[in-house]
Structure formats: structure tokens, C-alpha cells
Structure 1
Amino acid sequence: MKNIIVTTSVKTTKELDSAAKLLANNLALQYIPRNKKTIKQLLSIVTGVLVVYKNKLSYYENNSELFFHLDTTALKIKNSDNEPLLEIINDEKQDILDCTMGLAGDSILLSYYGHNVTAIEKNNIIFLITNTGLKEYTSQNEKINDAMRKITSYNSDCLEFLKNSTDNSYDVIYIDPMFSHSIAESNNLDGITTLAETSFPFDSFIIEACRVGRKKIIIKAHFKDDIFEKYNFTRIIRKNTKFHYGFIDITKKPKTKH
């Protein structure tokens, strides 16, 4: 189990101290006053440091920092004419379950283009950072702000969430799992891989997703992963990209009876 503490920025206030203490209590973590220590000094005695700043939360572990940002998402929205995720869905205003929220980049994109998005994140620190960002982060693009605020998010194991969902609850079930190739080759994931799980119960997931979904199960994975062939996803080949999308058309598959 990781030894994670909560603290504040170096220039702290009574309000930040109180917020950090409350956060530590809610997460069952230890609060330690910053006392001008550097992050490096704190990481010499603990595994991870969750820092409460005035306008953001950051999690530090090893040489990485995890915080909420829109860099990649904003670029995708700007260049969305060839966004494969939207092309695969190919319908307006779908009810979508994002089973691996992370920093919610795909959830924001889908919400921005009019879909109703529910996002699930198992890790409580990733969820906290992202959920706070979705509620409080302010972009210069008001439509992006509206998209973030409309997302419904839950701190939950996605398989358990699916098991507790009724049949045909969502049009699309989306998952972006983290496998060894994607972790090793994507700098954008550095901050999140220290917390995220890299194993996933796919057999059970596919069964439940077919039951809960109405139209499609969509996956994003590294092009070297065998997940596409193993579970019969129709792969969308993207030239000169390391990540491919695949989908299962649930409307053509018999529903599993329980």
C-alpha cells in the first residue's frame, strides 16, 4: 500500500490548510504541514504527495505530476474533423458510459459534441483531481466549460458499476484501458500511470457491457495490443498513430441472459 500524504502549496493560507486537512480526512490520508519543504524532500520519506493549491490539486510521485488540464482535449476539439471516436459513434446525442475516465479527455470531447456522458473512475485520487477540474476549471471556451459541467462522474470500479446497471442502460460503452505498450510510449500518461491499474477483467467486462449497452462497445488501445482480435473488435486502422479504436456492434450480437 502506498504511503501518500496531503499538504499545501509553500505559500499557504488558513483556508488552504483547512481544505487540505478536510481532504486528508475524507481520503483517510495523513495531513502534513508543508513547512517550506520541497516536493523532492517530501517524496524522500513518502510514496506520493497530494498538494492543495489555490486553484488546483496536484499529485506527485517519482518524477511525475498529475493535475487536471485541457491541452490534448482542446486540440482534439479544434481538429475534430477527423476524430475517430465521434465517427464510430456516428449518431447524435447518445447516452455514453466512459468506463475509464482518467483526466476525462474523451468524456469532455463527447460531451462537447452533444452526447450525454457518464464517466467512471476507480482510483479515488484520480477521481478527485478530475472531478474537481470538471466542476471548477475555467476555459476561455464557454462551450468546453458547459461540456465539463454536464458530465456525470462516479468514483467506482467500472465492472461493479456495470453489474449494478440495468439492461440496455447506455447506447455506447467506451473504454480506454492502460496496457504495457501505451504506458511505455505515451508521455501524456506519465502522471496517471503511477496510480492507475494496468490489469483489467476483460472477459467479465465484455459480458456486462453487452448486457448494459444498446448499440456499441468502443475500445481505444495501442496498435500492438491483441485485445482487438481476442474479443472480436472491428479495428479502425489509423495510419501513423500508435493508438487504434475498435468497436463491437451490440445490435448484431445476441444478448447474454442472466
Structure 2
Amino acid sequence: MKSLGFAVTTSHRVKPVLVEYAKQIAGELETRYVERNDRSIEALSAELGVEGMVVVKSKKVSFVSRAGEFFFHPGIAGPRINELKNGKTDQMIDAMSIKPGNSVLDCTLGLGTDAIVASYTVGNSGRVVGLENSPVIAYLVKSGLASYPVADGDTFTAMRRVEVVQADHRDYLRTLPAGSFDVIYFDPMFRLPGRRSPAINNLRALADPEPLDRETINLAVKIANKRVVVKERRGSAEFGRLGFEKIQGGRYAPVVYGVINCQGL
């Protein structure tokens, strides 16, 4: 992963409680806290020689760079969960073939939307762990999952259950014995320009740009009890390169899922 320089500051409206919170975040992220002093984020970043700043405001914490502003939002997790509650099919859940009590390892957490939906499906008796290589994304998403207010109780509970681990999935997978998770999931699509929302596009300055490799998929197949699933655009050559022969998804959906059945089936 490329090196990313960043520091932590506050909004223009400085309050002692925000300063203390910003210093706490800087400590957790092992970087600097810098006083704002009415400087713009662009000017502050240029002065410090960093690519962006973690900005602590009274109602949210975000990462601001030339690419834009990134902050946690559950996205369409809530609507997808409502669809499931109404008996409709979610293509990702169908591809994962998960049920209450199952365990899922999301190797490319991003904003965590897919992990939230998986968490709802596996329920209180299941487990969802999300891996995120970027310390900033991992911190913002972990904090957001624990505190973001949502009205729907099922979405609220599902968000709180997701476990966020800041780690490179390539390293993390090497530590796991066979059978550690029922399903191992990859969604590298958020790194592709113009494929999703502005919030996703603003991840680009933070995201690990490395593509998935066959070795990682083969390792995941040895670890998963049920399935390894990769989300990609329809017609992508990545499925063939990574060894996925079974493809699932809606007939007209722009994205589909490659599935490899594992030893536990």
C-alpha cells in the first residue's frame, strides 16, 4: 500500500472538547495534531506536506483532501435490509449463501455497507469481521459503525455487531487456520473510478490500489468453510484471472458475484 501522509485538526469553530478529541484521534492514528488557526485544509495540507487532513467537527469526523471529503455513512445498507425483511432477494446474500449463525470475513471493508447487510443476515449468533488496510478508513468506519444514528433497529444492531480490524487482508489471511470463517468476501470495486457515489470516489486517496491476486484467492479457499465470493462488474476479466467459474447475479445487474465453493459444503 502506498504511504499516505496525514495529520489531524479541527473545524474552524474550535472548542476545547474538539481539541481534546482531535488529540485523542491523532494518538490512536499515530500522527500529529495541528491547530487549525483559520487556515484552509488545502493550505494546511500544503504547509505540512501531507495528502489530506482528518478534520474533527462537532457532529462528525472526516478525511478531507483534494479528492473531496470522506466520512462514514451506512449508504444503502438500511434499504437493502428492509428489502430482505420484506422477503426480497439480495444478490450478495444469495451469492454468499449465508444464514443465521454463519461467519463472514469481509476482506475489503470500505464503507462497510456490505458488511452491515451480512451482519443482519447472520444475526446475533453469527459474526462479521471487516478488514481495512487504510488506518484512516478503518478508524472512521469503526467509529461510525459504533455511533452513527439510524432509526431502524435491525440496521442499528447489525452495524454495532460488525468487527473492524485494521489489517492488510493478505497478511491477515496467512494467520488463519482452515475453517476460520464460513464465507470470505472481496469487493475491490470501490477503487474503480466513477463506479459509485462521491463518497466512494473520495476513498481513492486512501485506498489500497493493489488488485487481488490468485494466491490470495487460493488461500481464502483453504480457509473458508462454505464459499469465497468476489464482487466485480459484469463481464470483468478478473473472474477468469482469479479462477472463478461460477458467476451469480441479476440478469441485468451491472455487478455480479464470482463464487467458489469450498471444503465445508
**TM-score of the alignment, normalized to the shorter chain, above 0.5:** yes
Aligned equivalent of 1:256: none
| 1:179–1:198 contact (8 Å) kept in structure 2 | no
Aligned equivalent of 2:112: 104
| 1:43–1:62 contact (8 Å) kept in structure 2 | no
* Paired residues for 1:15-94 under 5 Å: 15-45=17-47, 46-80=50-84, 81-93=88-100, 94=102
Cα deviation for residue 84 of structure 1 reads 0.4
Aligned-partner residue type, residue 145 of structure 1: F
Aligned equivalent of 1:219: 230
More deviation, 110-119/235-244: 235-244
Cα pair distance change 1:232/1:118, threshold 3 Å: same
Cα pair distance change 1:33/1:160, threshold 3 Å: same
Cα pair distance change 1:43/1:222, threshold 3 Å: farther
Q: What is the SS of the residue equivalent to 1:28?
A: coil
| 2:72–2:111 contact (8 Å) kept in structure 1 | yes
Q: Distance in 2 between matches of 1:101 and 1:108?
A: 10
Aligned equivalent of 1:118: 129
Q: Distance in 2 between matches of 1:232 and 1:123?
A: 27
Aligned equivalent of 2:246: 234
Unaligned runs of 5+ in 2: none
Cα deviation for residue 139 of structure 1 reads 0.7
Q: Distance in 1 between matches of 2:31 and 2:52?
A: 11
Q: Distance in 2 between matches of 1:121 and 1:3?
A: 17
Aligned equivalent of 2:180: 169
| 1:50–1:60 contact (8 Å) kept in structure 2 | yes
Q: 1:247 aligns with which of 238, 249, 259?
A: 259
Q: Distance in 2 between matches of 1:237 and 1:148?
A: 25
Q: Distance in 1 between matches of 2:252 and 2:178?
A: 38
Aligned-partner residue type, residue 183 of structure 1: P
Cα deviation for residue 224 of structure 1 reads 4.2
Q: Percent identity?
A: 26
TM-score (norm 1): 0.89
Aligned-partner residue type, residue 118 of structure 1: V
Q: What is the SS of the residue equivalent to 1:193?
A: coil
TM-score (norm 2): 0.87
Matched positions, count = 252
Cα deviation for residue 72 of structure 1 reads 2.0
Cα deviation for residue 30 of structure 1 reads 2.2
Q: 1:8 aligns with which of 10, 14, 34?
A: 10
